[in-house]
Each structure stands twice: as C-alpha cells, then as structure tokens.
Amino acid sequence: MADMEVDHVHGDSAAADAEMTDAGSIVAGGIIPRVGFTVHSSDDDAPPQTTDRAVPSVPPPTTEIPEHSAVFEGGNEAKPQCAFLRDHFFREGRLREADALAIIREATALLRAEPTLLTLDSPVTICGDVHGQYYDLMKLFEVGGDPASTQYLFLGDYVDRGYFSIECLLYLYALKVRHPHSLFMLRGNHECRHLTDYFTFKLECIHKYSEQVYEAAAESFCALPLGAV
C-alpha cells in the first residue's frame, strides 16, 4: 500500500514536469510570444523616435532664464512677482542665481522677525508636507484660494523626495515676502542640514543652482518658527 502511494506521488510529479515541458515548448514554438523587456516600441510596433517628444501634448521644460525685472517689481523695495514665478516654475524654469538668493534672503529676514511660536487667528488653511511636489502645491492653492485673501499655515517639510524642492521653497518664500501677514511657514524635520544632505535637496540645489543657494536655504531653515497656536 505504501508503495502504491509513492508511485502515485511520482506520477503526479512526472505529470507536472510534462506540463512544464509542454508550456516551454508552447512558448518556444511561438504560440505564446516571448516578451523582450529590453526592446522598446509603441503600441503599433513602430520604432521609437528620439527627436520627437513621447507625449507631444506635454510642453518641454523652458530654457528661459528671466531677467531681474521679470522676477521683481521695480522700486526701492522690490517684491517678487509671484504670478510670473508660479508660471515659470510650472514650466520647470530656473532663475538667475542672484535672484534666487535674493528671494531666500529676503524671506529669511522676515522669518527671523517672527516669534518662535506663532499666534494666529481663525480661519486659517493648514497645509501638511509638500516634499518637492510643485504641481501638488499648485493644486493646493487652486483649491484653497489666493494667499492674498486666504490665511495659510504650512507645517513644514517643503523639500526632499520630490523633484521640485527648490521651486517649492522659492515660490513659498516669494509668497511670504509678498504676503507676510497671511502666509506662515513652520519648520519641519526635513528643514535641516542632516536630512537635506541625506535625501535629495542638497544635490538638487547644486544641480540646478549652486552650493551657495543650498547654504542660503539651509540658513533660512534656522529662521523658521517651530509652532503655532
């Protein structure tokens, strides 16, 4: 009886091997085509074109570096032109380094003048982590309203992880300079040298601008308030 059970098990194993062999022969015979994961083609098997954009409806990043007069309004106390910056960053544009530094330093001066613990009146729109997601930030303002007429409190973590950390920071700092009494920013755990060096923000700053821009941003983090009631 025991021998019969063993033979039965062996028979099942042989049948499974036969099925695997048959499946392999089916693939090899062309009934089930093999997938070449290193070969790229479109749905109609046309070879890829490297001179055209894969999705023509998505515009390419701009290469324009705007003049100072486009970034700041004139006068002795020039303010960032937030509408221009919003659209320019939406097109993945960059600024002249001097203008990026000017925005960071002016925002830093305003943040240093604020108390460590903010006291805010309601209503206030509270926003969580941004983490370099510029297009999500745009949607947030689209839903939440214009910072000129809506009070915002950002809880920190503006940078790291996402690909547009410096754009998020520059735009929020520009809004802070423009609307110092309606837009407030707290310091998150990612607003420090240790995490921005470990994650992506430092490398992003150096790649898009320079280490000087990163140092100015890191210095500004020390000026951010720590809490709000």
Q: Is the pTM above the cut of 0.85?
A: no
What DSSP string describes 64-99?
Answer: ----HHHHB-SSTT--B-HHHHHHHHHTT----HHH
Cβ–Cβ under 8 Å, residues 36 and 42: no
Q: For residue range 104-120, list pLDDT tens digits in order.
A: 999 999 999 999 999 99
How many DSSP H helices and E strands does the chain contain?
A: 9, 5
- pLDDT of 158 over the 60 cut: yes
Q: For residue range 56-101, list pLDDT tens digits in order.
A: 888 899 999 999 999 998 755 689 999 999 999 999 999 999 999 9
Question: How many degrees, rounded to 5, is the angle at CA 209 between CA 92 and CA 212?
Answer: 145
- Helices 165-178, 201-208: axis angle to 10 degrees equals 80
Confidence class of residue 41 from pLDDT cuts 50, 70 and 90? low
Domain 68-228 adopts which CATH fold? Purple Acid Phosphatase; chain A, domain 2 (3.60.21)
H-run or E-run covering 125:
strand 125-127
- pLDDT of 165 over the 50 cut: yes
Question: Cα separation of 141 and 156, whole Å?
Answer: 16
- pLDDT of 25 over the 60 cut: no
- Beta-bridged to residue 80, according to DSSP, are 72
Q: Which residues of 48-75 are buried (b: 16+ CB within 10 A; e: fewer)?
A: eeeeeeeeeeeeeeeeeebeeeebbeee
Domain coordinates of the chain in residue numbers? 68-228
Arithmetic mean of pLDDT over the chain: 86
**Whole-number pLDDT of residue 31:** 64
Confidence class of residue 138 from pLDDT cuts 50, 70 and 90? very high
Cβ–Cβ under 8 Å, residues 137 and 130: yes
The residue from 88, 131, 179, 190 that is catalytic is: 190
**Whole-number pLDDT of residue 78:** 81
88 is catalytic: no
